[in-house]
Structure 1
Amino acid sequence: MQIGKVAGNVVSTKKVDSLTGYKLMIVDLIRIPSKKVYQEVIAIDKVGAGKGEYVLVTLGSAARNITKSSDTIVDAAIVGIIDTFDE
């Protein structure tokens, strides 16, 4: 898992059927303790995260496994909202 900060959301009116119903968020993956962004990803949101919140992000096949279908095209998923973390 990675730590990220939600930068915003993505609205896509046309997409593959397997993504219908998922909220898509822009997440800046960060390095601790500097909080420097090293990558931006688009992630499905499974927990209701909002802009500016720190989140736990899973990548790759682990992200796809949290969806209901193994046919879903997902490479990143928000799986938790971070309340606090030590730097």
Structure 2
Amino acid sequence: MLLGKVIGSVWATQKEDGMENLKLLVIQPIDFSGREAGATVIAADRIGAGAGEKVIISRGSPARILFSGKNVPIDAMVVGIVDSYEIADTDE
């Protein structure tokens, strides 16, 4: 899984079977300091994330498992909207 920030949306009127009614978001992976941490990805979203929100993304086979055995061409899926997080101080 990775942490990311929703920076946009993708609209596609024609999609593969199994992708109907899926919102597609553009996600910028970030580190826990909020800095960009990799190339942007398009992720399917069924939980209602919006622009500017921090989200948890699952990628690859774990993202497809969420579709109960259906063969859906999804590589990344929003699995959580982040309310907050805490990182321990490592300067000790």
Using the size of structure 1 for normalisation, the TM-score is: 0.90
Shift in Å at residue 34 of structure 1?
Answer: 5.0
Larger radius of gyration: 2
Does the 8 A contact of 1:4 with 1:29 survive in 2? yes
Quick check: 2:6–2:27 contact (8 Å CA) kept in 1? yes
Paired residue for 2:18? 18
Alpha-carbon contact 1:30-1:39 (below 8 Å) kept:
no
- What residue is the counterpart of 1:36 in the other structure? 36
Q: Which runs of 4+ in 1 moved over 3 A?
A: none
Name the structure 1 match of 2:90. none
SS at match of 1:31: coil
For structure 1, the residue ranges without an aligned partner over 5 or more in a row are none
**Pair 1:61 & 2:57 matched:** no
Unpaired runs of 5+ in structure 2? 88-92
TM-score under structure 2 normalisation? 0.86
- TM-fit CA distance, 1:18: 1.6
The percent of aligned pairs where both chains have the same amino acid is 37
Structure 1 distance, partners of 2:82, 2:21, is 23
